[in-house]
Amino acid sequence: MIAVKIRKEVKVGILFVVALIVIIWGMMFLKGLQLFKPRKIVYAVYEKVNGLVPANPVLINGLKVGQVKDLYFSKTQPGKIIVELYITSDYPIPRNSVAKIYSSDLMGTKDVEIILGDSKAYLQPGDTLKAITEATLGEEVNRQILPLKIKAENLISSIDTVANILQQVLNKNTRDNLITSVEHVRNTLQNLEHTTYNLDTLVGSEKKHLAGIISNVESISSNLRKNNDKITNILSNFSSVSDSLAKARIPSTILEVHNTVADLDQIIYKINNGEGTVGQLVKNEQLYKEVEKAARDLNLLIEDIKANPKKYVKISVF
């Protein structure tokens, strides 16, 4: 009886252990953890994880190669989040690969994609991958809409400014001025219409005179065309005259005249200052009187010689 009871207890214990193993295996299976496959745990350090949770898949080129095992804050890097990646595939992963958190659907589910690098050294258990985080849908929408928002705000501000300007411009005085301006424009158009009518009437009445003027202009142009050779000859002669004038050394002649005038000016200056004989004659009154007296005496002598030539000329006959 005792042996039977022991066997029953052993059976119950064995069944309990088996059930416990099945439960543990089932829980690990549901989490994606497989006991009998090669596995390794690697790490990635993020600023933020954007809703990543344990058991989310780890993918390479869309193929699941593991899952997120755990997330926790770093003790040595404040604010940093360490993510443990449970890799079940034996695919060789280069060490310079990147673990990128991205949104796998529109609901915001997060997965980790390993972007393979080109290193010849491969990832080993306990290594740390480079980490990047893709912008969330809201962040991406905000990034795209922000420039439109800024433009819309600027446009609304510009419209508001224009409205204020129009409100200030279109006040009562401005409206009155606009009405007055429109009235002036209407009067101007009426005057222009009247002027145009008068011009048409004048052209109609003076049509014969205009025809005569046009005929005279045509006659003048015909005469010019007929006398083209003469005009050309005149222009040629004028060109020859201009060439002759160019060769006439006019500048040197003008320079000589200038020098002569300067000399004459200097002579007049000396005369005015009483220098030289002419200057003394002009400026010295005593000399002028003596010269005048000598001239008068000489004149009297000449008249006496004419009147009494025998007095001055003696003729001897041998």
Range with the largest mean pLDDT of 34-38, 50-54, 176-180, 312-316: 50-54
Task: Identify the CA nearest to 92 among candidates 131, 58, 118, 55.
Answer: 118
- Phi and psi at 119, nearest 5°, equal -70, 150
Range with the largest mean pLDDT of 32-41, 151-160, 290-299: 151-160
Q: How do residues 258-302 score in pLDDT, each as one tens digit?
A: 778 787 777 777 767 767 666 666 666 776 677 777 778 788 878
Range with the largest mean pLDDT of 6-10, 111-115, 250-254: 111-115
Q: How many CA atoms lie within 13 A of 300 on its CB side?
A: 6
Model confidence at 46, pLDDT cuts 50, 70, 90, reads very high
Q: How far is CA 63 from the centre of its chain?
A: 53
Q: Which residues, in sequence order, are bridge partners of residue 58?
A: 66, 112
Q: How do residues 57-66 score in pLDDT, each as one tens digit?
A: 999 998 988 8
The topology under which CATH files domain 37-134 is Elongation Factor Tu (Ef-tu); domain 3 (2.40.30)
Domain boundaries, the chain: 1-31, 37-134, 142-169, 252-302
Size of the chain in residues: 318
8-state DSSP, 318: -
6, pLDDT greater than 70: no
Average pLDDT over residues 42-60: 89
Q: What is the pLDDT of residue 136?
A: 64
Average pLDDT over residues 179-207: 80
Model confidence at 94, pLDDT cuts 50, 70, 90, reads very high
Q: What is the pLDDT of residue 73?
A: 92
Model confidence at 100, pLDDT cuts 50, 70, 90, reads very high
E strand or H helix at 128: strand 128-133
Q: What is the pLDDT of residue 139?
A: 62
Q: Which residues, in sequence order, are bridge partners of residue 128?
A: 43
Average pLDDT over residues 184-188: 86
Q: What is the pLDDT of residue 207?
A: 73
Q: What is the pLDDT of residue 142?
A: 67
Paired tokens of 20: 């416990």
Q: How many CA atoms lie within 13 A of 292 on its CB side?
A: 8
Torsion, Cα 291 292 293 296, to 10 degrees, reads 120
Task: Identify the CA nearest to 115 among candidates 107, 123, 125, 126.
Answer: 123
Average pLDDT over residues 151-155: 83
* Single-letter amino acid code for the residue at 149: K
Paired tokens of 19: 């059930």
In which residue are the tokens 């200038």 written?
258
Mean pLDDT over all residues of the chain? 77
Task: Identify the CA nearest to 114 among candidates 43, 55, 54.
Answer: 43
CB 97 within 8 A of CB 43: no
Q: What is the pLDDT of residue 178?
A: 76
Q: Which range, of 55-59, 128-132, 224-228, averages the lowest pLDDT?
A: 224-228
Q: What is residue 12's three-state secondary structure?
A: helix
CB 53 within 8 A of CB 63: no
Task: Identify the CA nearest to 100 among candidates 134, 140, 139.
Answer: 134
How far apart (Å, rounded) are the C-alpha atoms in residues 299 and 302?
Answer: 5
8-state DSSP, 43: E
Average pLDDT over residues 24-43: 65
